[in-house]
Amino acid sequence: MWTGWMTWEQILPFKEQIIDWELEVMVKYHYPDKSIPREYPESRVNNLKEYLEGGTTFFWGAIEDGKLIGYYWGYISNFLGVMRWNTRSNYISEEARGKGLGQRSYEEALLKAKELGCKEAVSMYASFNKSAAHIYDKLGYDISRIEVIKQI
Residue 130, amino acid: K
* Residue-averaged pLDDT of the chain: 91
Helix (H, G, I), strand (E, B) or coil at 42: helix
70: CB partners within 8 A, 6+ apart? 61, 62, 90, 91, 92, 93, 96, 101, 102, 105
Q: How many residues does the chain have?
A: 152
3-7, 93-97, 129-133: least confidently modelled range: 129-133
Helix (H, G, I), strand (E, B) or coil at 43: helix
For residue 29, the Cα-to-chain-centroid distance in whole angstroms is 13
E-assigned strand segments in the chain: 2-5, 57-64, 67-79, 82-92, 120-122
Q: What is the pLDDT of residues 56-66, one digit of tens each?
A: 999 999 999 99
Helix (H, G, I), strand (E, B) or coil at 52: helix
Q: What is the pLDDT of residue 150?
A: 60
**In angstroms, rounded to a whole number, what is the distance separating the alpha carbons of residues 20 and 89?**
13
Model confidence, pTM: 0.87
Q: What is the pLDDT of residue 142?
A: 79
Q: Is the pLDDT of residue 129 over 90?
A: no
